[in-house]
Amino acid sequence: MTVEVTRLNSGLAIVTDAMPHLETASLGVWAGCGSRDEQADEHGIAHLLEHMAFKGTSRRSARQIAEEIEAVGGDINAATSAETTAYYARMLREDVPLALDILSDILADPTFDPLELAREKNVIVQEIGATEDAPDELVYDYLQTVAFPGQSVGRSILGTPETVRSFDSARLRTYLDRNYRAPDMVVVAAGAVEHVRIVEEASRRFASFNGPVAPVPEPARFSGGARIEVRDLEQAHIACALEGVSLGDDQLYSLQVFTNVLGGGMSSRLFQEIREKRGLCYAIYAFHAPYADTGLFGIYAGTDAADVPELMNVVVSEIGEAADSVTEVEIARAKAQMKAGLLMALESSGARAEQIARQMIAFGRPIPLEEVVAKVDAVTIESARAAGRALIARSRPAVAVLGPGRGLERAAVIAESLGRRAA
């Protein structure tokens, strides 16, 4: 690997991954905070702050921010998740200093102009409305709430129209000052970059970020349960979850392999049994989302409301059977998929930068590709089965269903049989 790391006295980490064959660079600032770091009365403020960062500084208006980066052919964007917030750009190698200047400017010196704030709050309310009109997205918000009730990690990232409209510039600055601290932030650049130059630029431009480590959010507490909502839709959208494992858990890679075998592609058990053999759905897949201290293993499917009981019975059966009968062939195929995905991602400077940033925030160091591949290769049939059995035994299922007609609650009743199987 060509990764170099420098940590400043302030605690800010600066990491580069040079890709000499490129003429462009991807770079960004990742903060180790997100919606999970919100207080009870701050629901949606992390996402609003991400939006407002682009709405003007003392030196640049919102329009100037957009025009300066696009005038050199670059682009700039941001994203908020439960545990991280990212501000990133891509541009030609000679314009890297400009990108760093803009990124530091929008984070260190946002004006939070009241008129811009009012407009952007309305934009986010429209975004919330768009999610309400997309049941295949909304069902995930419902699932998160059922899985982690009464906790920041269980709330939607967008917030609600009421909470978003309640925020003012003072509230934004309070959240920013509390959570954007140098020890919890990382500047990453990949592509046509030189480490020494990035360190020089970042050291100067991000000097205002200092202070101790930000407060740690409350520990996650997974809870089973169900949320069933009848809506006038063409399909029933089902999301079912069990408590997964954290980023640092020894079972992480074994559970990821188990997840791929179960629902990671067209050859997976769920796809073959439910779509190909029975024709019960168009889309079905399994996923595992690890957090700092827990994880969320889930399955999504969209089906006709009349087919919900049969589909859920097959899902429960396949999860249980996979935990007992995953084969060497399936393990090998899942591991090949994971390794190919890792290698394909590394062909993109943006994907490299994001991967390094997430590793730095989670583990405090970039993880060499060889180390990740070795952990994937170390998964055995025994460890994958053990991860599946532990998954079933760990928690009561959480279920969210959106769809038409009666009888949708059968999905939750059937999912509960997983717990009885474990017992």
Residue range 116-142, pLDDT digits in tens: 999 999 999 999 999 999 999 999 999
| DSSP H helices in 150-266 | 161-166, 169-179, 195-205, 252-263
Asked whether the beta carbons of 54 and 68 are under 8 A apart, the reply is: no
159 and 229 belong to one structural domain: no
Amino acid at residue number 48: L
Residue range 392-406, pLDDT digits in tens: 999 899 999 999 988
Pull the structure tokens for residue 361: 């925030």
Q: Does residue 421 surpass a pLDDT of 70?
A: no
191 and 244 belong to one structural domain: no
78 and 126 belong to one structural domain: yes
138 and 197 belong to one structural domain: yes
Residue 218 forms part of a structural domain:
no
In angstroms, what CA-CA distances link 208 with 9, 34, 101, 164, 379?
12, 20, 13, 28, 44
Q: Identify the residue whose tokens are 């998929």.
A: 337
Q: Does residue 407 surpass a pLDDT of 90?
A: no
Give the CB-side neighbour count of residue 197, counting CA atoms within 13 A.
14
pLDDT of residue 422: 52
Residue range 160-208, pLDDT digits in tens: 999 999 999 999 999 999 999 999 999 999 999 999 999 999 999 999 8
The one-character DSSP state at 110 is: B
Q: How far is CA 153 from the centre of its chain?
A: 12
66 and 34 belong to one structural domain: yes
Q: Does residue 38 surpass a pLDDT of 70?
A: yes
84 and 197 belong to one structural domain: yes
Asked whether the beta carbons of 69 and 106 are under 8 A apart, the reply is: no
Q: What is the CATH classification number for the domain harbouring 354? A: 3.30.830.10
378 and 318 belong to one structural domain: yes
| Rounded-to-integer distance, Cα 269 and Cα 308, Å | 18
Of the two residues 417 and 304, the one the predictor is more confident about is 304
377 and 311 belong to one structural domain: yes
Residue 210 forms part of a structural domain:
no
| Rounded-to-integer distance, Cα 181 and Cα 211, Å | 6
Residue 363 forms part of a structural domain:
yes
Identify the active-site residue in 4, 23, 38, 50. Answer: 50
Residue 217 forms part of a structural domain:
no
Pull the structure tokens for residue 269: 């058990």
38 and 183 belong to one structural domain: yes
9 and 77 belong to one structural domain: yes
Residue range 271-288, pLDDT digits in tens: 999 999 999 999 999 999
CA angle (347, 79, 77) in 5-degree steps = 70
Number of domains in the chain: 2
Is 50 designated active site?
yes
Among 145, 171, 205, where does a domain finish?
205
Residue 195 forms part of a structural domain:
yes
Helix (H) or strand (E) holding 238: strand 236-243
pLDDT of residue 331: 97
Pull the structure tokens for residue 289: 């989302």
Residue 369 forms part of a structural domain:
yes
Among 138, 170, 205, where does a domain finish?
205
In angstroms, what CA-CA distances link 404 with 90, 307, 308, 389?
44, 12, 11, 33
Asked whether the beta carbons of 69 and 99 are under 8 A apart, the reply is: yes
Q: How far is CA 360 from the centre of its chain?
A: 15
135 and 275 belong to one structural domain: no
| b/e burial code for range 382-404 (CB count within 10 A of at least 16 → b) | ebbbbbbbbbbebbbbbbbbbbe
Coil, helix or strand for 344?
A: helix
Q: What is the mean pLDDT of the chain?
A: 95
Residue 216 forms part of a structural domain:
no
229 and 126 belong to one structural domain: no
Find all residues with CB under 8 Å of 34, minimum gap 6, and list them.
46, 80, 81, 82, 83, 84, 85, 157
**CB count, 10 Å around CB of 405?**
14
pLDDT of residue 338: 95
Pull the structure tokens for residue 13: 């980490």
Q: What is the pLDDT averaged over residues 21-40?
A: 96
Q: What is the pLDDT averaged over residues 318-332?
A: 96
Amino acid at residue number 67: E
**Residue-number span of the structural domain to which 374 is assigned:** 225-422
Residue 211 forms part of a structural domain:
no
| b/e burial code for range 59-73 (CB count within 10 A of at least 16 → b) | ebebeebeebbeeee
| Rounded-to-integer distance, Cα 245 and Cα 241, Å | 12
Q: Length of the chain in residues, anyone?
A: 423
Find all residues with CB under 8 Å of 200, minimum gap 6, and list them.
none
| Rounded-to-integer distance, Cα 196 and Cα 194, Å | 6
Asked whether the beta carbons of 136 and 282 are under 8 A apart, the reply is: no
